[in-house]
Amino acid sequence: MAEVGSDPLVWRISPAQAALMILAACPCAAVNIYWHPSAVLRLVTVVVGVVALLVALVSLRMYLAVDDEGVAVRFLHREQWLAWSSVDQIEVVSGVRGSDTIRFSRADRTFVDVPPSLLQPTRPVRRSVAGHLLRDAARRIEARRPAA
């Protein structure tokens, strides 16, 4: 029988947000397929549609996963794996891409910042509530770290 804490903690951007980006690209494509817009409007709709699709793909790729062995953070192009033995400190930091996020510091003074978009609330909330939710996530992550 599995332990209650054995399931990994996983943070992802909501699939609904990616779906909204895909839905935003659909009218852009429809304008170019079914209508014959001017060159400027065609350029604008193609750019908006491509950007919306890229944002959707990026948001579906990124994640933060925490289990009993360590932490995995996937960015757009790469994934960082941190074994618990290499994690020195877990803290909430400000000013990472204009927002607060969780930072995993190693003993060699290098660190990995979680993309802030993974940890931000999906609904608008006050800054103090968002900070409380972020600190709660950091506490939950710290609780998964095995005792040294």
Give me the phi and psi of 78, to 5 degrees please.
Answer: -150, 165
Structure tokens at 86: 């290499």
The CA-based diameter of the chain, rounded to the nearest angstrom, is: 66
Between CA 38 and CA 16 the distance in angstroms is: 32
CA distances from 130 to 10, 34, 91, 118, 143 (A): 18, 43, 15, 12, 20
Query: Can you give the pLDDT at residue 120?
Result: 79
Q: Which of 125, 22, 13, 133 is nearest to 62 (CA)?
A: 13
pLDDT tens profile 72-89: 999 878 899 999 999 999
pLDDT tens profile 44-59: 999 999 999 999 998 8
Chain-centroid distance, C-alpha 95: 16
Mean pLDDT in the chain? 88
Query: Can you give the pLDDT at residue 99?
Result: 82
Task: Tell me: pLDDT of 4 over 70.
Answer: no
pLDDT tens profile 86-120: 999 999 988 877 788 999 999 898 999 998 888 87
